[in-house]
Structure 1
């Protein structure tokens, strides 16, 4: 685990920051929220839930499937998937032991009432501790920007997906592979300057999925439903010109965008 990830999600406990709410740690999907009126905690929580819903909807029907979330954090998305989408079981995987401890505490009731339907497991995106073909669906919400090796993540995703399974990843990437992009983002955003977020083009992930043997690979920009709402919410705590407000600036300057990336593992041919 990289030291900046260990600190941010361990002792620093990013989830306690006021800009996050409801136990989620994501920028939100604000399409159904009126940004012209004052935003409160209920709207913020809904934006984060709606990001998960958008990802889970894109993953297809989940009934009777085993679902894996890579980078589950506090497990709120796992709980939402379990309660709203009716899968057979949900596994939340995270690299940080303190996040997993918090997740198990937050969902102790569900773990006790529905043994076998929800579990939290420690593992890295590049080395998943699961059997081949174990999951019908793999999702990851706003975690891939931290993964050191997208090629290894893609290979592991293809391995643990069963034939006919689908992966859906939501995260932010540079819009192209221009060599100056990492420097531009480091100058705008502290999370790129300190190495928490890694500057890579979205094609780094789509090409990795293709190389891993996945098909139907598609990257959809959803930035118009992420960045303006995120910036409006940040405005409650951060003044214009402070570095967190530069996420919207990076989007408007066509440096950074938010994407939903999906791909499928081909089904086996009948003999």
Structure 2
């Protein structure tokens, strides 16, 4: 059993390398760096605001249990005179822990979409918070803490996961806000299934048009569509930035300008 656990950990976390990570969330270092940089206008304002807003992200929250577990284990290890662990500072441990919770977040959003759990009094706001968290993470990953990323390839993969999370999250909002109808009965309230809401959300995110389903002529419907389009364009900018960054690094390695 112990060997099985070790094998699973090795598959998920990889070899025990010594790379370290800075603590996530709000940091005065990012504010000081943005304050000293010769940027201006909207770019400067974004780089000043994002580090402050990141204090309310899920990253500091999901990192905290790992820190607590590390402290608890070190209490016993210190009494037994064993070497102390530093899980909260190892890139592989922090990245693996965060990825586990990202997978759980996708499962949670899918469960919300198909009706496993739902409380309209607060779930709408919680899904909105998760979507806002994705936007802040995407913006900060490109404009603020890109050089402190755990891994550029992981950042790109996480962007794809966040894009999928956004599609499922908006689908849940479309479904439970009752703001969709079929194109043949526009203006009339027609029950929409979770699959149809997911289809509409994916089509809207891809900016392919409404298709078979359209939003009702109401404030919530149009607001959700415009918000999702804005988030989708942000992710497009994120992917382009990641691609250009990777291409420039490859060009610098071999001396090519392509």
| TM-score relative to the length of structure 2 | 0.29
The structure where strand makes up a greater share of residues is 1
The structure where helix makes up a greater share of residues is 2
| TM-score relative to the length of structure 1 | 0.28
Larger Rg: 2
